[in-house]
Amino acid sequence: MSREKIPLTPALLALKKNQVVFVPRTYKYVEHGGTRVGAKALGVDEHEVIKTLVMEDERKAPLIILMHGDREVSTKNLARFLGVKTVHPCDPKIAEKYTGYKVGGTSPFGTKKTMPIYMEETIAALPRILINAGSRGLLAEMPPSELIRVLHPISVKVGVSP
């Protein structure tokens, strides 16, 4: 890891408060580069890089969905699972109000607003994950068991190939 200064984010504070075993990993953020850029820069499989997506249902109720970097969320299947008519990605400004993070740096840890968190079920089987730590270009590497212990996400099967 380079000797870059790691920003102190609400996510890192939440990880430390909960005594999460993690390794901060930094890379050069590229606008609209997605998980592909981070995975390539850090030499890891994009499947291990977990996206934190903020969505809303038709009543504007927010939720977080955690998904593999190389997969997409079937909003139709997620809506069916939730028992709502529709689910769609939040407007970036609204997502920032809910989380306190800029899109591209959204972490499920240390969000401003408490929201239900859903996680693609296959994430739990990975030996490690890299998930955003609250700043663009900053990921936290950890076993998925740590994420599950702290966040208690609801397991779903809504991932589809892009």
pLDDT class of 6 with cuts at 50, 70, 90: confident
Among 35, 53, 33, CA closest to 45: 35
Task: Find tokens 């700043």 and name the residue.
Answer: 135
Instruction: Give the length of the chain.
Output: 162
Residue 92 DSSP class: H
CA of 96: how far to CAs of 23, 29, 118, in Å? 25, 18, 18
Tell me the per-residue pLDDT of 53-78, one tens digit each, with 9 for 90 and over.
Answer: 999 999 999 999 999 999 999 999 99
Rounded to two decimals, the pTM is 0.96
Are 112 and 9 contacting, i.e. CB atoms less than 8 angstroms apart?
no
Report the distance separating Cα 109 and Cα 144, nearest Å: 13
Report the distance separating Cα 154 and Cα 31, nearest Å: 30
Tell me the per-residue pLDDT of 84-143, one tens digit each, with 9 for 90 and over.
Answer: 999 999 999 999 999 999 999 999 999 999 999 999 999 999 999 999 999 999 999 999
Distance between the two ends of the chain, CA-based, in angstroms?
A: 31
On the question of pLDDT at 4 being above 80, the answer is no
Are 63 and 115 contacting, i.e. CB atoms less than 8 angstroms apart?
yes
On the question of pLDDT at 82 being above 50, the answer is yes
The token duo for 43 is: 């030499």
According to the model, what pLDDT value does residue 27 have? 96
CA of 23: how far to CAs of 16, 27, 87, 142, in Å? 11, 13, 33, 7
According to the model, what pLDDT value does residue 2 have? 45
Radius of gyration of the chain measured on its C-alpha atoms: 15
Among 17, 13, 9, CA closest to 26: 9
According to the model, what pLDDT value does residue 7 have? 86
According to the model, what pLDDT value does residue 3 have? 57
On the question of pLDDT at 39 being above 80, the answer is yes
